[in-house]
Amino acid sequence: MKRIFSFMILAALALVASAQGLVIGIIDMGFDYTHPAFRAGDGSLLISRVWEQGTEGAHPAGYDYGYEMTTTAAILTACADDQTQSHGSHVTARALQYAGKEAGTEVVLVSKGSGRVDENRLRDAIEYIFDYAESVAKPCVINMSMGSHRGPHDGTSAFDAFINKTVGAGRILCGSVGNSGISTGHLETSGEPLNTFIIYRSQDNTTGTVDIWGTPGMRYSVQLSAIQYENGNVSSQSEVVVAGPAADDAQGGVKDYTWAPTTGRLKGVFKFHTDIDERNGKTHTTIDIDQSSAAMKYELALNITPLSEGTIHAWSDEITSTFFDHDREGFVKGDNRYGITELGGTADRIISVGAMKDDGTVADYSSRGPRLDGAVKPNVFAYGDNIESALNSYDQYQSLYPYTQTIEQDGRQYHYGTMSGTSMASPMVTGVVGSWLRHNPQLTPEEAMAYMNPNEVINPEAGLANSIFAVRGNAEKNMYDLSGRRVSTKRNSASLGGLKHGVYIVDGRKIIY
């Protein structure tokens, strides 16, 4: 079931300043610590803490890795965490745009380092930010514009359990749901063998992951094959790896197997791991792919065969590889169903964010729900198309992004540019939630999600959040109700002339402006 909430047209700056203060945490990479976007109105740096998890240096207290910076001098001296991307700068400035820079606002950045996201380090990053916010007695919202297709996609992963336990009153997480809307990275079968090809998005990066989940108690087999492109003949094959309860098969249950073909055009290391997940009882297989030579004349085929009743779902990593049929008989390509990513999208208590276009429709690239168990995800959609925000001035590739404006400060040029994706949508929601936390520092994830629900009745006299106002009378404003319909108003709008964008109650109706 799709849920596009025109609510997010609120695209709001904080509606009323408050002395409560706020900590905004961003876990990402590509931060320019010196960018003017991260300065308060008085010129002071909003960034209070930085933890570069992949850099050697003085570790944060309680951790044995990474480099922590706790002073303005140290942060500005470091300049940036990376010189090859601007993602983190763009996301951080986007969140601040909607949270505002009122007195007491602090930003804590955790640079996750390059390569695949390490879930253990991601847990550390979340705890690090929340612990700092607690130490300064301020509410906190964290943005994670990242995701992974490793996991059951049903809210039962260990990381989802961690999030559900960690967030709460004054501790809220927002995450992007991924950009798998037009992908072919998902497969499903119930009873019939399934054959597909694993293809790479770039011949310069022939790595990938396939994550396979079967119904609890189910048994199935998986096998990789090198198939000649011209004639479809099988050149070499891995073992048939059986996953599931052991029964009489010694290969069942937990198993590790490595296929390392060294002849022919298809060479590499393909690591299989099977187990029974202790949290949900599902039969699980992961295949990590590291193909050392591009198979220009060979295709890498995957076979999944059910050996008992049940349903199997498989996901490619979608960053470097996906599923395709090459128009060959007997092979199938993947689809875009159940594309909500783990980490940023699947936990019950994370506010998962999809992307919509300016016209209020879902962006083609935005991952679709629901979650595999039927739970509605994303929780909300926000603007993610051609979003203008800060770029990393130390990023050697920043010119790849269309510049929208340039600021010169202290002899250095700082650019703003556009990016698109759910990564850009999530910090918009993060900023809005941050503005709410200033007024209600005990706001819970569930309360925030309720405010985003167009079916939730809000009594303007109840004071659920000071950023939702009761407005009397009519207004000639571009106002919409939460179903996206324009609210027609005819009379004097002078009383609303100074309103900022936000959520209001007009004549008992929940309205966005």
Q: What is the pLDDT of residue 136?
A: 97
Q: What is the pLDDT of residue 325?
A: 93
d(CA 41, CA 44): 7
Within a domain: residue 329?
A: no
Residue 243: which of 275, 195, 271 has the closest Cα? 275
Q: What is the pLDDT of residue 122?
A: 97
Sheet holding 140-144, edge to edge: 67-69, 47-52, 105-111, 22-28, 140-144, 171-176, 351-356, 380-383
d(CA 148, CA 54): 19
The answer to whether the beta carbons of residues 207 and 316 sit under 8 Å apart is: no
Number of domains present in the structure of the chain: 2
Residue 269: give its domain's CATH number. 2.60.120.1290
Q: Are residues 61 and 37 in the same domain?
A: yes
Q: Are residues 134 and 223 in the same domain?
A: no
Helix (DSSP H) and strand (DSSP E) numbers for the chain? 6, 27
Within a domain: residue 371?
A: yes
Q: Are residues 176 and 199 in the same domain?
A: no
Q: Are residues 157 and 37 in the same domain?
A: yes
Enter the tokens of residue 44: 């002071």
Q: Outline where DSSP puts E strands in 238-297.
A: 241-243, 255-259, 268-276, 283-291
Q: What one-character DSSP code corresponds to residue 149?
A: S
- Segments forming the whole domain that contains residue 142: 21-180+341-449
* Residue with token string 């590889």: 321
Enumerate residues 6+ apart whose C-beta is below 8 A from 104. 19, 20, 21, 22, 138
Q: Please give the chain's pLDDT, 513 residues, in tens.
A: 333 433 333 333 233 334 469 999 999 999 999 999 999 999 999 999 999 999 999 999 999 999 999 999 999 999 999 999 999 999 999 999 988 898 999 999 999 988 778 899 999 999 999 999 999 999 999 999 999 999 999 999 999 999 999 999 999 999 999 999 999 999 999 989 999 999 887 776 778 899 999 999 999 999 999 888 777 788 889 999 999 987 555 555 688 999 998 766 678 899 999 999 999 999 999 999 988 765 556 789 999 999 999 999 999 987 888 999 999 999 999 999 999 999 999 999 999 998 888 776 788 999 988 899 999 888 888 888 899 999 999 999 998 988 999 999 999 999 999 999 999 999 988 998 998 898 889 999 998 888 776 444 333 333 332 233 333 333 344 444 444 444 444 333 334 444 444 555 444 444 444
Within a domain: residue 460?
A: no
Partners of 509 in the beta sheet?
506
Q: Would you state the torsion angle of the CA atoms of residues 134, 140, 143, 148, taken in this order, to the nearest 10 degrees? A: 50
Q: What one-character DSSP code corresponds to residue 92?
A: H
Q: What is the pLDDT of residue 252?
A: 55
Q: What is the pLDDT of residue 466?
A: 28
- Tell me which of 268, 297, 324 is where a domain ends: 324
Q: Are residues 46 and 173 in the same domain?
A: yes
- Determine phi and psi for 23, rounding to 5 degrees: -110, 125
Q: What is the pLDDT of residue 395?
A: 95
Q: What is the pLDDT of residue 34?
A: 97
The answer to whether the beta carbons of residues 404 and 416 sit under 8 Å apart is: yes
d(CA 126, CA 430): 15
The answer to whether the beta carbons of residues 139 and 129 sit under 8 Å apart is: no
Within a domain: residue 217?
A: yes
Partners of 319 in the beta sheet?
none
* Residue with token string 């960034």: 47
Q: What is the pLDDT of residue 63?
A: 97
Cα 372-377-379 angle, rounded to 5 deg: 165
Enter the tokens of residue 355: 């992307």
Enter the tokens of residue 109: 């950045």
Q: What is the pLDDT of residue 247?
A: 52
Count of residues in the chain: 513
Cα 484-489-493 angle, rounded to 5 deg: 120
Q: What is the pLDDT of residue 331?
A: 95
Tell me the chain's radius of gyration from C-alpha atoms: 24
d(CA 46, CA 50): 11
d(CA 396, CA 127): 32
Q: Say whether pTM exceeds 0.75.
A: yes
Within a domain: residue 510?
A: no
Q: Are residues 66 and 161 in the same domain?
A: yes
